[in-house]
Amino acid sequence: MVASLSLPRIMRVGRGAAEELGNVIAGLGLSRPLLVTDAYLVGSGAAERLAAALLKAGLSPRLFSDTVPDPTTDSLAPGLKALHDHEADSVIGFGGGSPMDTAKALALLGVQGGHMRDYKAPRVNLGPALPVIAVPTTAGSGSEATQFTVITDSGTDEKMLCLGPAFLPIAAVVDVELTMSMPSRLTADTGIDALTHAVEAYVSRKANPFSDGLALTAIGTIGRHLRPAYTDGSDVRAREAMMLAATQAGIAFSNSSVALVHGMSRPIGAHFHVAHGLSNAMLFPAVTAFSVHAAPGRYADCARALGAATATDADEVATGKLVDALRGLCHDLDVPTPRAHGIDQEAWTRLTPLMAEQALASGSPANNPAVPTADQIQDLYAGIYG
């Protein structure tokens, strides 16, 4: 098998890396970036500090901070106007997954126009698009290193997966300092998202030796450092480890794929506005229990990497321990069931057939070791409600 691999051309990873952002952009011959971020990072002063550093590096940035969590097609319009008004030659995605995904969508629409639904999966978008520079402020989405963006269609509430090299940042600047102020809930949700990326990349039917190594490394790191980062946000060592693992997991799944957890998670986010990592977490143990029989060796490797099983455990034992470990992790990170999260049971039941249909349509379940039917997906949704 020939693996098709793509990574950001330039990466700066480590404490203080954000100070190099201006030089990275100038070094690419770019000078008029649109700095795409959110209201929180404006309020905290982080966006202003970054903009000032860009000015100091001789660049002419313009700030656009009206991104929304789980970006919608409607939310892109003012960003596109800002992009054109500024005559931007590049787009900086500064924030968690949502600002970075917004930046990627703007970079494509700014050149090609049209509507985001024209670009959704299974279409592979080669470009052209403006260059994107990604600066994550959470340790989770991995979007800084992936060729994916997820945009919700405002007309249908569908969370559309859009993919292709056009969405791969040309540069990623990964600085742990930017994650130090994350509240514990965000730390947990984004951390579980990163773990899901790593496990799904490893068990995916699109896995390859390149993605495997990064996925297993990330699983081990997250197994050791997610709980400490959650319980003590000032633990720099844990934060730093999580930041690196999230980027490694991003590279892994961008060069493999995600699978059934993500396929089922997007419709929950779209219909019930549950944070992405949290809806992954609600699904992760049950979907893993459903899937392990189809690839026991691969899931056993994940269990051992996570520290949940030993080298001498038989695969069938190790896979059981993996499911137990994921349940334990969700418990320790205070992950609620959909019921406990306040989702109405009648709405959950009514929307289940549509969610199953949308999960399958995204293509992600087809990469799962056990490819589910629509009925099996509906059963999984029913089983996790709580």
Q: Where on the chain is the footprint of Fe ion (CB under 5 A)?
A: 193
At closest approach, how far in Å is the CB of 192 from Fe ion? 9
78: left (phi over 0), alpha (psi -120 to 50) or beta: alpha
Which C-beta is closer to Fe ion: that of 88 or that of 215?
215
Which C-beta is closer to Fe ion: that of 101 or that of 193?
193
At closest approach, how far in Å is the CB of 363 from Fe ion? 15
Closest chain position to Fe ion (CB) = 193
Which C-beta is closer to Fe ion: that of 193 or that of 240?
193
135: left (phi over 0), alpha (psi -120 to 50) or beta: beta
Burial pattern 322-350, b for ≥16 Cβ within 10 A else e, equals bbebbbebbeebebeebeebebeeeebee
Structure-token match 């899901």, residue found? 196
Structure-token match 């049950």, residue found? 286
On whether the CB atoms of residues 253 and 197 are closer than 8 A, the answer is yes
At closest approach, how far in Å is the CB of 45 from Fe ion? 28
End-to-end CA distance of the chain: 42
Distance CA 360, CA 90 (A): 34
Which C-beta is closer to Fe ion: that of 65 or that of 221?
221
At closest approach, how far in Å is the CB of 238 from Fe ion? 20
As a whole number of angstroms, the longest Cα–Cα distance in the chain is: 62
At closest approach, how far in Å is the CB of 258 from Fe ion? 7
On whether the CB atoms of residues 34 and 105 are closer than 8 A, the answer is no
How many alpha carbons fall within 13 Å on the CB side of residue 328? Answer: 12
Distance CA 55, CA 68 (A): 26
Q: Rounded to 10 degrees, what is the CA torsion of 266, 270, 276, 280? A: -50
Which C-beta is closer to Fe ion: that of 193 or that of 315?
193
Which C-beta is closer to Fe ion: that of 83 or that of 207?
207
At closest approach, how far in Å is the CB of 158 from Fe ion? 17
Q: How far is CA 92 from the centre of its chain?
A: 17
At closest approach, how far in Å is the CB of 347 from Fe ion? 24
Which C-beta is closer to Fe ion: that of 175 or that of 193?
193
